[in-house]
Amino acid sequence: MKGSRGFSLLEILVAFSIMGIALGIVLRIFSSGVHTAALAEEYTVATQIAESLMASTGVETPLTEGEDSGVEDAKYQWQVSVEQLPELVEGTTLGLMQVDVVVSWGEDEERQRRIELTRVKTGFVQ
């Protein structure tokens, strides 16, 4: 038999199988990267909402005990809680207030994600 010039059917099938597995792995990695990028964007937006609410509490809205809540972009539910902390010095009109901001989003309760910020601010005791 003279030197054969070409590939056998078995060699071609093995090559296509290896190529198919490699392509499947590459597509899975790409899909995972896209999902991670979308999740990172959601966390970034939620963090910006939480930081904005934290900054406006005591500036745009009064720093009084209580809770407030709402929805942003029809996706992110937020809640701001303000609680007065015990006085450090008796008889002062200036007190410490703990501000908690929670931003949550997600399709259902099991897969819900959330960001929580807590800060202590000074405010006038009433």
DSSP 58-98: TTTB---SEEEEEEETTTEEEEEEEEEPPPSSTT-SEEEEE
Which residue segment(s) compose the domain that 29 sits in?
Answer: 9-124
In a domain, 4, yes or no: no
Confidence band for 3, pLDDT divided at 50, 70 and 90? low
Query: For the chain, how many structural domains are there in total?
Result: 1
Q: For residue 1, is it within any domain?
A: no
Residue 109: inside a domain, yes or no? yes
In a domain, 2, yes or no: no
Residue 65, in any domain of the structure: yes
DSSP character at residue 110: T
Q: Report pLDDT digits (tens) over 27-70.
A: 999 989 998 999 999 999 999 999 999 999 988 888 888 999 99
- State the average pLDDT over residues 77-81: 96
The answer to whether residue 39 is domain-embedded is yes
Whole-model pTM: value is: 0.72
> Between these two residues, 73 and 3, which has the higher pLDDT value?
73
CATH number, position 24: 3.30.1300.30
